[in-house]
Amino acid sequence: MSWEDKVRKVTPYTPGEQPRRTDIIKLNTNECPYPPSPKVAEAIAAFDEDRLRLYPDPAAADLVKALADHYQVDKDQVFVGVGSDDVLAMAFLTYFTAGKPILFSDVTYSFYDVWAELFGIPYKKCALKDDFSLDASDYLQDNGGIIIANPNAPTGLMADLGMIEKIVLANQDSVVIVDEAYVDFGGVSAIPLVEKYENLLVVQTFSKSRAMAGMRIGFAVGSKKLIAYLNDAKFSFNSYTMNHLTIACGKACVEDDLYFKEITGKIVATRERVKKEMAELGFKFPDSMTNFLFVTHPQIDAEELFLALKEEGIFVRYFKKPRIDQYLRVTIGTDAQMDALITFLKEYMKNRSFV
């Protein structure tokens, strides 16, 4: 026997490219095109480096309190982690132990099945309808837990809150997680429902709407009981995850609500404008409530266009997967970046005589 026989073999997730080149238009990982709040820079400048010799506050109380105040919940209803991936993985580990299949969509965030496999959680994928909308009846069957990305990724579509509530209500014997990574671009959050449903966990991130992907902050809001279980699991795993600077910067970011509204507003305006222009070029897409569009074109091969864009220095995301291999996920950048994209697309189509 070799030591290798005892080792877990995992097919790693391939994250979107993070090219070191700075001369590109980066529309491939749904980052915010605007810098974080100036309050974040101030927090970094004010930080006393000597504090780094001490462990951070394991409860990240300053950040938790800022979030609790912002979302008008109790501080015992907030959990923070190293990006929403950390929060979600910890939630899978904590809530999905029944041995029954957990349920999620066939076209959704690609980490869900990876975490399930990693933790030995059985799962069942429920097919979205042809238009990528959610079929609530899929979530009325017996299950070990439920996770729904809303708005969904990579489709961009949002299920209305009534449907989410219906699913939560019908599953009082399971934890239902709503992953709202993209909710701040005009979506409607389920956070107000956590007061009503003890089994509902809402997860959000600082990586998109708060322009802090590089700082790694995610959080969850739920009932006190739900959050207590999550904290217990987290403290048994790694007590100190959020470093001093992350806590300080996260707090500063949340407190600057005006800036947050400004940048998300700009992105929504750009998105709506780009929707029109893409539609005029013949692209089809679900009606996105996120900071990206999930586009397909009846006459253009998605992978070919993906490569042509890359050659031009415009990075978008292509998933070679069933149902979505003729789609590209295009992050909403600045107006100038989107203009460059549209200009290229017009040229590309003209050369192929599509228009």
**Nearest-approach distance from CB 292 to a second copy, in angstroms:** 15
Q: In what order do the strands lie in the sheet with 317-318?
A: 292-295, 328-331, 317-318
**Nearest-approach distance from CB 299 to a second copy, in angstroms:** 33
**Which residue lies nearer to a second copy by CB, 105 or 174?**
174
**Which residue lies nearer to a second copy by CB, 52 or 127?**
52
Length of the chain as a residue count: 355
Q: In the numeric block, which tokens belong to residue 159?
A: 């299920």
Whose structure tokens read 């509204």? 261
**Which residue lies nearer to a second copy by CB, 216 or 251?**
216
**Nearest-approach distance from CB 166 to a second copy, in angstroms:** 17
Assess contact for 204 and 183: CB atoms under 8 A.
yes
Residues in CB range of 76: below 8 A, 6 or more apart = 224, 227, 228
**Which residue lies nearer to a second copy by CB, 39 or 346?**
39
**Nearest-approach distance from CB 58 to a second copy, in angstroms:** 5
**Which residue lies nearer to a second copy by CB, 58 or 192?**
58
- Please state, in angstroms and rounded to a whole number, the distance separating the CA atoms of residues 70 and 254: 7
Assess contact for 199 and 168: CB atoms under 8 A.
yes
Other C-beta atoms closer than 10 Å to the C-beta of 182 total 25
**Nearest-approach distance from CB 6 to a second copy, in angstroms:** 4
**Which residue lies nearer to a second copy by CB, 5 or 311?**
5
SS3 26: strand
Give Cα separations from 181 to 33, 300, 310, 314 (angstroms). 16, 30, 26, 24
Whose structure tokens read 């934890």? 175
- Please state, in angstroms and rounded to a whole number, the distance separating the CA atoms of residues 222 and 79: 8
- Please state, in angstroms and rounded to a whole number, the distance separating the CA atoms of residues 334 and 274: 11
Torsion, Cα of 237, 240, 245, 246 (10° steps): 30
**Nearest-approach distance from CB 24 to a second copy, in angstroms:** 12
**Nearest-approach distance from CB 228 to a second copy, in angstroms:** 10
Pairing of strands 25-26, 102-105: unpaired
**Which residue lies nearer to a second copy by CB, 235 or 301?**
235
**Which residue lies nearer to a second copy by CB, 82 or 183?**
82
**Nearest-approach distance from CB 22 to a second copy, in angstroms:** 10
